[in-house]
Amino acid sequence: MSKSSVITEEFRAIQQALEALEPLGKDRWKFAVNMILARLGMGDVPTDRLGSLGGRTASIPARNSTTETVSIKEFIKAKAPRTDLERLTCLAYYLTHERGIEVFTTREIRKLNEEARGQPLANPSATANNAVSQNKYLSPVGHGKRRMTILGEDFVEALPDREKVKEVLQGRPARGGGRKRKRTARRK
C-alpha cells in the first residue's frame, strides 16, 4: 500500500469520526474522544487539550478493565443520574467495569456512593430490589449479592443522553415478565 493511500484512508477515518461526533455537541465530545482513545489502548489524554474534567487526566477503559482511570466522582458527574435508581445502577456499573467487582452487595454500593460524595441513597436496599425486580438493571446472585445485567450496562452506557436511554428501554422486556398468578377470592 502506498504512503498516499494510507494517508487518504486515515483522513477518511478521521472524517467519519468527526461526522459521528458532531451531533453530540462540544461538551460531550471530550467524554466520547477520551473513551475512544482509552478503548484503543492509547492511554490518557491531557485534559488541557480537550477541556477539563475537574483538572485531571481522563479516560474510560474498555469493559472489564481493572485499571481505574476515572474517579467515581467524575464518572457520576459525567453520567448525570437523576434518581436514586439511576445513581445506584451507575455505581454498580462502576464497581463492575472500573474496579472489576462483578458480584457486589448493597453495602458496597453505599460505600462507593459515599466515596463519590453523592447524596445518600434514601433506601438503598429497596432501590436495589427495584433495580432487580422492576427495572431488570441488576440480577440476584444469592446471599444478598447482585450483578449487572446487559440491560443495566446498556442503560448506563447510554447516559447522559436521554434519547439514547429511551431507545435502550424500548427494547427491554415488560415488567414482571413471568406467569401471572390467579387471584383467589378471600374467604370471610
pLDDT tens per residue across all 188 residues of the chain: 666 666 777 777 877 887 888 887 766 777 777 777 766 766 554 444 343 333 333 334 444 444 447 899 999 999 999 999 999 999 999 999 999 999 999 999 999 999 999 999 999 999 999 999 999 999 999 999 999 999 999 999 999 999 999 999 998 655 554 555 556 666 66
**Among all chains, which residue has been given the C-alpha cell 424500548?**
170
Query: Domains of the chain: which residue ranges?
Result: 8-60, 62-173
**Among all chains, which residue has been given the C-alpha cell 428501554?**
169
The DSSP output letter for 171 is T
Q: Would you say the pTM of this structure is higher than 0.75? A: no
Q: Which amino acid is at 142?
A: G
- How far, in Å, are 79, 109, 121 from residue 128 at the CA level? 18, 9, 10
Contacts 24+ apart (CB under 8 A), 132-141: 134/175, 135/85, 135/89, 136/172, 136/173, 136/177, 137/85, 137/89, 137/92, 138/89, 138/92, 141/103
